[in-house]
Chain A
Amino acid sequence: MDGTHLLELRGIRKRFGANEVLRGLDLTVERGETLALVGPSGCGKTTLLRIIAGLEQPDSGEVILDGRVLASPRGSVPPERRRVGLVFQEYALFPHLDVAANVAFGIPRGVDKRRRVAELLDLVGLSGAERRMPHELSGGQQQRVALARTLAAEPVLVLLDEPFSNLDAGLRARVREDVLRILRTAGITAIVVTHDQKEALSLPGRVAVLIEGQIAQVGTAEEVYRRPATRAVAEFVGEANFLPVTRIRDGIIEFELGCFRSPTPPGGRFDVMLRPEELALAADGIPARVVGLNYFGHDQLITLALPSGTTVRVRTLGPGRPEPGSTVGVRVAGEPRLVAER
């Protein structure tokens, strides 16, 4: 094992009744990184976090943290001995304890509790809130207390389950900045789970896309957006057009809107993918009929029917709204690439 991996998941499987939630999942997390784990609702994100934290046992597979096997077919380390912190979606602050007691709950023996609580509350910007009760705090403040409480237990890995979903939109961006700053200051490795692909792409670290119980792709936000591994990833992280390949000759891929050079992926079906902003309206382009228009203010999404009958969506900025039913020209304005069906 090389020294940079902090967490390694190998072939994790988990079934609830007839429903197999995780299907042989592999993932490694590097020391010090903030990994965004993103996937559609019900893809197994929360189950995976609970398995890493030790609150669920995998049916098979191994969880290895910092060289220690935490879970394997032979048994499992209980959650309190894993040094994995988990910040719940609903924060789960102890309602009968004040802020200081909540934060002090997990402080290991031999540490000066009062000083440590003060340090952590300072870190999360809540100095002076020691005596307040959880129900007296706003959502964002509860979030920060939960984070301070988790850090107080000196975990080597922190898991955050949908940390921003309980906050209203106005507050979300600011709390996100706060949380990322706190994690960075603490120098801690973290996995942030979210179902919101925009949020995942805007986080600073790598993005892991979890689809149907498996990691479909891990990479930087740009890699995942620009070079999705599968059609499902492409569709999950943003709008995408898929066009059939019409001919392949000498490494040149031909399709309805043009051609490009690309090695073909091994096996299986694949299509040409273009994001809506990678198409443009142009008088000298391929003629297409306007069949739909969604106007969003700063941009608009135009649905076009190509001569073959395939429909594509084009995102344009600025003025100029084509009439539905009229004919316009469309051309490629970005970089087409091949994406495998699965």
Chain B
Amino acid sequence: MALAHIRPRAAVAALPLAIPVALAAGGLLVPLAYLALRAFEADLATVEELVLRRRNAELLRNTLLLAAALVVTTTAIALPLAMLTVRTDLPARRLFDVLLTLPLAIPGYVGAFVILAATGPGGLYPLPRPSGFWGALIVLTLITYPYQYLSLRAALLGVDPALEESARSLGRGRLAAFLSVTLPQLRPALLGGGLLVALHAIADFGTVSLLRYETYSFAIYLQYSAAFDRTYAAWLALLLVALTALLLAGDWLLLRRLRLARTGTGAPRRRRPTRLGRWEPVAVAAAALPPLVAVVLPLVALLDLASRFPAGHAAGLREAFGNSVTAAGAAAAMSVAVALPIAFTAARARLPGAQAVERLAYVGYAVPPLAFALAWVFFTLRAAPALYGSLPLLVFALSLHVLSEAMGPVRAAVRQASPRLEESARTLGAGPVKTFVRVTLPIVWRGAAAGGALAFIGAVKELPITLILAPLDFSTLATRMFSYTQDAMFAEAAPFALAIVGLSACFVGVLLWTERTFSS
């Protein structure tokens, strides 16, 4: 009998998947581990002195205060808005869905810039200029409430109206039924959205440093840029990471308890929308206010300031634009190249814990970018000095930071590419390579493009990692704008901010296009 083409059994195509997965895991975890090592290099007395400083308590109090206040303000805005768009006959609800999430496109430092440049005496908006805590809270509220809004909106859509109806038939009034039946069901969504908002507050760097509110991030940057006591900076970064980990763990514990307490929901019937009647104009105004304040007013201010842009700076703008596109483009491509194998491993590998690999991508999202960048500084200075301040390092760190953004659409696309299709191709005579090129790739490429667009937007907007890891003469739109703003050169800064917003808008266009072709 002929033994034709027999191949020995091997782990199925393990290597092409394992390398990117290991790259992501190593890139995220090794610098953080090194950060801890670096921090504990100091002798015990120094550590005690560094950690138990009065200033640390102040920083902790400031950081937690901002996070807590932000969760309250964003929820206070998002819950009524979600109720309006989900449960009432608000006109143009689809449009409001889009408008209400637009503020996500405004980076925090742009918001802070608008407050500094356009309020106060002589500003375009002659209002008292908020700064410190209140300034940071206002800016962060306006740009992060969409996280809570999207989370609550999804949860409200999933609530079975029959539950509230049965509460009504059991004798509860409209408000009592909402409070006793619906609100408890929203708790997981409130926690989920609240976590995102709080993570944002803890990790935020641009807003707090421009508005001079001393949180961990701000203090770390001060240490890094001015004093640069490395051990103290390492400790602050480590404490910031620890705070993030505590928050995640607490949220996970709370959420787990809630999940256990819930029963199956099934596919709820659609609820009849509540009629707004004569309240309709008020409701429309209320729903239009957040996007107006968070997007329209800043854009008007930016345009107004940009009209006074000194023409001599145009070359700098062009150069920064090119640098931003280069760095963000490379980072986006790299994050997609890493996200694809991770999604495949999670979807296909018959290994226990394969899904955990996917969650790894979200570590990059949760780790405060400033701490992450600092960890890379320490790590490369020790392990690979040639990498320090090099473009490849910046691109790699950025790609890990935006990996979770690329992950979403890529994951959905990979789930769509049924293994049956690839198996069909194999039985039709196509080898693994031909199968990937002719079957898998055409099915997942739109998801990959959408993930790449999201990652690109994230990388263009990113500030602290770029600020710390970029090569000396390499300035991007974000870093140029930040330094002009610090020097109160508002007219010079404005076009950079506009360019960032414009680039983001272009890629939102790509995103909408891929979604359209997806659904056809």
Taking beta carbons and an 8 Å cutoff, which residues of A are in contact with B?
1, 53-55, 57, 64, 67-69, 72, 74-86, 88, 90, 92, 94-96, 105-106, 108, 149-150, 152-153, 155
Contact = CB atoms under 8 A, between A and B. Distances in A.
Contact of B427 (A1, A64, A86): A86
Contact of B425 (A82, A105, A108): A105
A77 B5 contact: yes
B428 A55 contact: no
A95 to B, nearest CB: 7
A67 B2 contact: yes
B431 A78 contact: yes
Contact of B1 (A68, A76, A79): A68
B9 A57 contact: yes
A78 to B, nearest CB: 6
A155 B420 CA distance: 18
Q: Across chains A and B, which 3 residue pairs bring their CB atoms closest together, nearest first?
A: A106-B428, A79-B426, A92-B420
Nearest to B427: A86
Contact of B2 (A69, A72, A80, A105): A69
A79 B3 contact: no
Contacts of A95: 421, 443
A74 B430 contact: no
Nearest to A95: B443
A155 B424 CA distance: 13
Contacts of B3: 68-69, 74
Interface in B316-337: none
Contacts of A78: 5, 7, 426, 431-432
Nearest to B446: A96
A55 B423 contact: yes
B439 A55 contact: no
Nearest to B442: A96
- What secondary structure prevails in chain A residues at the interface with B? loop
A94 B2 contact: no
Residue from A53, A85, A94 having most chain B Cβ neighbours under 10 A: A94
B428 A105 contact: yes
Contacts of A94: 421, 424-425, 439, 442
Interface in B413-471: 418, 420-421, 423-432, 438-439, 442-443
B285 interface: no
A80 B9 contact: no
Contacts, number: 96
B14 to A, nearest CB: 15
Contacts of A88: 420, 423-424
Contacts of B427: 53-55, 79-80, 82, 84-86, 150, 153, 155
A1 B1 CA distance: 9
Residue from B420, B428, B431 whose CB has the most chain A CB atoms within 10 Å: B428
B277 interface: no
B11 interface: no
18 contacts: A55-B426, A64-B1, A67-B2, A69-B6, A74-B8, A79-B423, A79-B427, A82-B427, A86-B424, A88-B420, A92-B424, A94-B439, A96-B442, A105-B428, A106-B429, A149-B424, A150-B428, A153-B428
B423 A77 contact: no
Nearest to B443: A96
A84 B427 CA distance: 6
A47 to B, nearest CB: 13
Contact of B429 (A57, A96, A153): A153
B98 interface: no
Nearest to A86: B427
Contacts of A81: 4-5, 429
A160 to B, nearest CB: 12
Given A55-B426, A94-B439, 12 more contacts: A69-B2, A75-B6, A77-B5, A77-B6, A78-B432, A81-B4, A95-B443, A105-B428, A105-B430, A106-B428, A106-B429, A153-B427
B60 to A, nearest CB: 48
A211 to B, nearest CB: 26
A106 B430 contact: yes
Contacts of B439: 94
Nearest to B10: A75
A94 B432 CA distance: 16
Nearest to B350: A16
Interface string B232-268: 0000000000000000000000000000000000000
A76 B426 CA distance: 14
B520 to A, nearest CB: 9
A77 B4 CA distance: 8
A96 B9 CA distance: 32
A90 B1 contact: no
A62 B200 CA distance: 58
Nearest to B7: A75
Contacts of A68: 1-4
A257 to B, nearest CB: 51
A75 B431 CA distance: 17
A92 B425 CA distance: 9
A288 to B, nearest CB: 48
